[in-house]
Amino acid sequence: MASQERKQYIGIVVDCIKTPIYATPSYSADKLGEVSVMTEIRVIDEMSDSDFLNVCLPSGVEGYILQSYVDRKEGIRWKEF
């Protein structure tokens, strides 16, 4: 069985003033806080079976955000974050 490769990259929050960060990939999960538009975040994993991305905020908080609110930031490598 082949291991799944995690798709990690830097993203930017778009298309909202603020969006919640959830504790688990569910709309009914506890909210860990909010992220403002144009915030750079580290995407830890794209969840192919979900509407959510597993992310790490600049503050170090890890959680889940809706994929539709994140655009990939081009020209930034993973280790530069």
CA distance 17 to 77: 26
What is the tally of structural domains in the chain? 1
| DSSP 8-state secondary structure symbol assigned to residue 60 | S
25 in Cβ contact with 54 (< 8 Å): yes
Note down the domain range covering 41. 9-72
Instruction: Give the CATH number for residue 51.
Output: 2.30.30.40
The model's pLDDT over 39-76, given as tens digits with 9 standing for 90+, comes to 999 999 887 788 999 999 999 999 999 999 999 886 55
The model's pLDDT over 15-40, given as tens digits with 9 standing for 90+, comes to 889 999 999 999 999 999 999 999 99
Name residue, tokens 């915030």.
Answer: 39
